[in-house]
Structure 1
Amino acid sequence: MFLLLLAVWLILNGKITVEICVFGVLISAALFYFMCRYMEYSLRKELLLFRLTPLFIQYFWVLVKEIVRANVCVLKIIVSPELEPEPAFVYFDAKFRTGMAKVVLANSITLTPGTITVSVENDSFCVHCLDRELAEGMEDSVFVELLLEMEAVESRWM
């Protein structure tokens, strides 16, 4: 983070001189100290983010794949007059330790066409699905597995 702050300082100044570099180092060090002291920032948290990056990328691609798959299912329902949608509420539990994992799962479900997260209470999720086909396997989906894996990495690292 210190190097990022220094790089931003140098870019915003537009030129590199000894004075600008010295002031940049001092200001970046002061900001880095402030972040560590008062904003609960630590080098350990930054290393955790680097450690979780492959899982974030994998989660993003799974989300894109599921969005495309759900789009195809919703398109079939819309285009085919003989297919009658069967709306359903699905209730399932996901044992996450952090609220962030619950929020990410709820938002991922809502981003997927044909499904919307109605409520999240403790570990219980309530999801409305346009069709029962979209609800299959939601409680043990790839989203849940990846989020649990991210939490496991975080608990080992912190």
Structure 2
Amino acid sequence: MYLIFLSFWIMLNGRFTWEIFLFGLAISAAVYLFICRFMDYSLRKDFLLLKNTGLFLAFLGVLVKEIAKANLNVLRLILSQKYRPEPALIYFKTDLKSGICKVLLANSITLTPGTITVSVEGNEFCVHCLDKDMAEGIEESDFVRLLRKMEAGR
């Protein structure tokens, strides 16, 4: 987090001089100490963030892949002459514990064409699917698998 603050400071200044860099070191340290003291942040959380960065990048890759697959699937359904929509409203439970992982899962489902997260109550998700075939395997998708790994690293 400290390095992010320092990088942000240098970007906002628009140029790099030793005075700006040294002043940025001091300001970034002060902001970082303030956050650690008053906002329940710690160096341990920085290490956890670094540890989960690879998993998060893998999650983003899976998200892009699933969006592309779903786009093609929805396009195929719409352009098909014989398409008869069979929308489905499915409910499933997840074993994800943290709120951020549940939000990531809900938003990932919503970003994927043909599916919308209708509600999340506790561990139960309600998802509307454009076609009932899109609902298959949603509760054990790659999204859930990667989010479980991210939670295990916490």
User: Shared topology, TM-score over 0.5?
Assistant: yes
In structure 1, stretches of 5+ residues that fail to align are none
| Alignment correspondent of 1:78 | 78
Kept in 2, the 8 Å contact 1:5–1:28? The answer is yes
C-alpha distance in 1 between matches for 2:10 and 2:115: 47
C-alpha distance in 1 between matches for 2:136 and 2:84: 17
In structure 2, stretches of 5+ residues that fail to align are none
C-alpha distance in 2 between matches for 1:103 and 1:122: 11
Per the TM alignment, residue 7 of structure 1 is displaced from its structure 2 partner at its CA by: 4.7
Tell me, yes or no, if structure 1 residue 144 matches structure 2 residue 130: no
| Alignment correspondent of 2:124 | 124
| Alignment correspondent of 1:69 | 69
Kept in 2, the 8 Å contact 1:87–1:131? The answer is yes
C-alpha distance in 1 between matches for 2:57 and 2:7: 25
C-alpha distance in 1 between matches for 2:7 and 2:111: 35
Closer, same or farther in 2 for the Cα pair 1:10/1:70, shift >3 Å? closer
Under a length normalisation based on structure 1, what TM-score does the superposition of the two structures give? 0.86
| Alignment correspondent of 1:16 | 18
| Alignment correspondent of 1:133 | 133
Q: Deviations over 1:94-119 (max 9, x none)?
A: 01111111111110000000000111
Tell me, yes or no, if structure 1 residue 2 matches structure 2 residue 2: yes
Closer, same or farther in 2 for the Cα pair 1:30/1:125, shift >3 Å? same
Secondary structure (helix, strand or coil) at the match of 2:138 reads: coil
| Alignment correspondent of 1:34 | 34
Q: Deviations over 1:35-62 (max 9, x none)?
A: 1111222111111111001111111111
C-alpha distance in 1 between matches for 2:103 and 2:10: 37
| Alignment correspondent of 2:47 | 47
Secondary structure (helix, strand or coil) at the match of 2:86 reads: coil
RMSD (CA atoms): 1.9
Under a length normalisation based on structure 2, what TM-score does the superposition of the two structures give? 0.88
| Alignment correspondent of 1:96 | 96
Structure 1: which amino acid aligns with 2:75? L
C-alpha distance in 1 between matches for 2:16 and 2:112: 44
Structure 1: which amino acid aligns with 2:56? F
Structure 1: which amino acid aligns with 2:37? R
Work out which of the two has the higher radius of gyration on C-alpha atoms and give 1 or 2. 1
Structure 1: which amino acid aligns with 2:99? G
Closer, same or farther in 2 for the Cα pair 1:8/1:113, shift >3 Å? closer
C-alpha distance in 2 between matches for 1:62 and 1:6: 31
